[in-house]
A and B are shown apart, each in its own frame.
Chain A
């Protein structure tokens, strides 16, 4: 058995609902009254980390970047079973696009120390880009496997996984350290235990600001971002179409006619 695995799970706090509104004048999202949760895909990432730790031995550290309130997402991760938590929070980190985010996280990971495995959810439900994971892998100089659906083994520093692609399932192998992103087919996230919740309440969250990191302001936050959002708008809403009522026979006939009209049959 090789040494204990150092596992880092990167998570993000997102609004609970995607039915968000924004202020037309400032272009900012109205976050008031919307509960914040761990990005659903990231719960699968945490679960994956915990299962690997339980099977192969190691430590699960969780890392997030966000406002001070993102502290809660880290405590929820500890309640699930993670051991250490890091919160990168600083005004100068704000407004980062995926590149600036991945750059900042990569620098923090280098500061945390040696790692064997970084796990990310395959995307977030708010930004929905799925870019931060692979961009971080590139910045850290480690390989990356996206859409992992099963961890087959981790032995002698080599990980074997399955990943789910559009047209099939691929079997892959690589040496650690590596970054993987996981989807919902990998495992069912566990619920927090009472003991976990108590641990979460008492846990010390390691706060990281740019004072500790000392990154060039031009490489982080809004200034470090290569992309700029110039307009936000609501897509035109659909009015809803025709409502058909009648006997099953009449309904089947109407749908049949519609399929014929649209040349489906």
Chain B
């Protein structure tokens, strides 16, 4: 099978003659370049209208699904440092690739990142694509989308995994829409169906009250964003072999959103990264309660979380909010202090490995998801707990 499509080459000067000529109104000039939309019927009028011969009609083979092979992992990085979710994706990706008898690829986009290639190989990648350029030092949706889509067109993976981080969940949909393929958000389970070799993507919906398994049967790659801290990290094997492929970035890189500045959050552990979270609810009674929780958090290296009412009251800022209308977290330990545990809050934290709650009411819904619940006044219990931890540390 073959299909025709209109492509605009680098020769385009953005004069707009094609826009005027197109009978379907499908060409617009964006940032000095002509862009063809889906309304194009490949009539060819624009080819004749172009004064600089920049428009071509190409005939290409429509690929079949079986042409797509291997698992590609997007290696998210910040200032040259790989996000830990990538190691989890490589761990899962390796498993899926082995089951399919195919290869595991990864793609790294950014600046000053070249030295990370070997590390990705030691974590299981057979092939690492690197797109390195000084213009890519900060993440922007436009150029990163364009490059990731190009990489997919070159490497033609059957599966593409992206970490369900803030940036990953912004990038994934742009890439999926550009490639015209399915994307499943925030997966917590990935398996290969042994009969069809399709990727079975399982994810929570309705705040975790329902799980759904989703497939992408007729388009490739099968794309998923994957929740952080769910899959197991790939183990490091320094002896592994792999290939590093350096690719130059496209000549015309779309880049419509400018980054003017960045204010990092200081002295705080971010709740989505934290292994331990100490969270407070209405039972704190006032904003000062969070000072006590911060003290406990500091002693055990935890981040501070909060239930919605405390944020609504203005006791703490929104970025601490855990739950359906805040962040979903999955730390190793979640200590819920004075949180009754309405369903919206539980949705955001109930998959934590261990949950300890301190609450006056033993009928509170939080008890049903807690590993242990201490029935008591948090203002009586927490100061004593902090003292015990301090003494313990001194004696070590």
A residues sitting closer than 8 Å to B (CB atoms) are: 15, 17-20, 22, 40-41, 97-99, 102, 125-139, 141, 143-147, 160, 164-175, 178, 183-185, 225-235, 238-246, 248-249, 251-256, 258-260, 262, 264-265
Report whether A232 and B166 are in contact in the complex, using a CB–CB cutoff of 8 Å: no
Q: Does B259 contact A (CB under 8 A)?
A: yes
B318 A125 Cβ-Cβ under 8 A: no
Residue of A nearest to B384 (CB): A252
**Does the CB pair A230–B215 fall under 8 Å?**
yes
Q: Quick one: CB contact mask for B359-396 with A, threshold 8 Å, 1 for yes?
A: 00010000111111111110011101101110011000
> In the complex the two chains form, is A251's CB within 8 Å of B381's CB?
yes
Q: Which 3 A-B pairs have the closest CB atoms?
A: A226-B182, A248-B380, A138-B177
Q: How far is the CB of A242 from chain B (nearest CB, A)?
A: 5
B197 within 8 A of A: no
Name A's interface SS: mixed
Selected contact of B205 from candidates A126, A160, A166, CB within 8 Å: A126
Contact with A along B206-239 (1 / 0, CB 8 A): 1111111111111100000000000000000000
Chain A residues, Cβ within 8 Å of B67: none
Query: Is there contact, CB below 8 Å, between B264 and A168?
Result: yes
New contact pairs (14) apart from A133-B173, A226-B180, A228-B214, CB-CB < 8 Å = A20-B210, A41-B325, A97-B182, A99-B182, A102-B173, A125-B324, A128-B185, A128-B205, A131-B185, A136-B177, A184-B321, A241-B373, A252-B388, A253-B388
- Within B61-105, the residues touching A (CB, 8 Å) are 78
Please measure, in the bound complex, the distance between the C-alpha atom of A184 and the C-alpha atom of B170, giving whole angstroms: 17
- Please tell me the number of chain B residues within 8 Å of chain A, measured between CB atoms: 99
B272 interfacial contact with A, CB 8 Å: yes
* A133 vs B169: C-alpha distance when bound (angstroms): 11
A238 and B204 in contact (CB under 8 A), knowing A141-B30, A172-B258, A174-B257? no
Tell me whether B276 is interfacial, beta carbon within 8 Å.
yes
What is the CA–CA distance of A18 and B350 in the complex, to the nearest angstrom?
14
Contacts of B370 in A (CB 8 A): 240-241
The 22 sampled A-B contact pairs (Cβ below 8 Å) are A18-B344, A99-B177, A130-B173, A130-B185, A131-B183, A134-B173, A135-B177, A147-B166, A166-B272, A167-B264, A167-B270, A226-B218, A227-B215, A230-B200, A235-B211, A243-B367, A244-B374, A245-B376, A252-B388, A256-B392, A262-B332, A264-B276
Nearest CB in chain A: distance from B167 CB, A:
7
Q: Which of A136, A173, A230, A242 contacts B257 (CB 8 A)?
A: A173
Q: Is the CB of B141 within 8 A of A227?
A: no
Whether B324 pairs with A252 at a CB distance below 8 angstroms is: no
* CB <8 Å contact, A231 and B362: no
